[in-house]
Structure 1
Amino acid sequence: LMHNDLAVLYGDQHRLGEAEREQQSALDILRRRMQGKPFPAIAIGIGNLGFLRMQRGNLKGAMDAFDSAESMFAQMPDREFAEKAIVLYNRSVVHTVNGEYAQADADARQAVQIAEKQYGRDHPLLATILARRIETAVD
């Protein structure tokens, strides 16, 4: 957990390179402990890594991480994870930046469904995702 805590601390301080390294270290430890099995904390950590990469401008690395996180969430179909909505939202941001509006809308639409189900209709995340969908529709 210390690596993850440092990643959050460094991210809050905009020390994104250090945050990414610490997040990767936390993921490496979790993966070893889980022996390659899908686990929610790993999927969430991969999504966090993607967010850090996105903040650093590494859109390909971010998309790879978001795809990996989404894939891991899909391997755990017995439960819908609220954090998957965040991964899908962030992936929609990358798609929008890349001009891939149909993909951005599809991810945002799925994120809306999950966020409504997990958080309720009045949650701020839902408003953020809906705003992303409007932005992609205008572009």
Structure 2
Amino acid sequence: MNYQEIKKQVEELVQTNCRLMGLEPWGMDFAPGTGKQKGVLRVFVDSPEGVNIDQCAELSRQLSVALDVEDLIPGSYNLEVSSPGLNRRFFYPEQMSGYTGRKVKITLKEPRDGRKNFTGSLLGTENKTISIQTSPDSSWSFQWDEIDRARLVE
């Protein structure tokens, strides 16, 4: 099984367990282990009321059992479950739509005009295009597939 297949199956498992608990999956990261170092699977969840530590702990227990039974991830790894937090990372462009006017940091995969990092107010998202205003007379638009990371800045 390749990485994309594993990711898809883990995402489905996370979505199912989140729905059972009334939580919304926000996103996930997986950093595979290298050498003797364990990998890390980070799962971020949210809900309209927010997420507390007890909910994260319960979801972690449920996911841990489900992941062990399914044996989807090769090798050893640590599972971390948390809320996305105040400086939340955006995993999909659709997640940004509720944050228009808020300050965001965009890191590009490849430099544009000699820089990769752009911080400014989110002007909007449309058709996977993210637009931000970095100063009163400067705005930028980026296609989602150009972006390495996007997150809120508080």
Fold match by TM threshold 0.5: no
TM-score relative to the length of structure 1: 0.24
Structure that is richer in helix per residue? 1
TM-score relative to the length of structure 2: 0.22
Structure showing greater radius of gyration is 2
Which has the bigger relative contact order, CA under 8 A and spacing at least 6? Answer: 2
Structure that is richer in strand per residue? 2
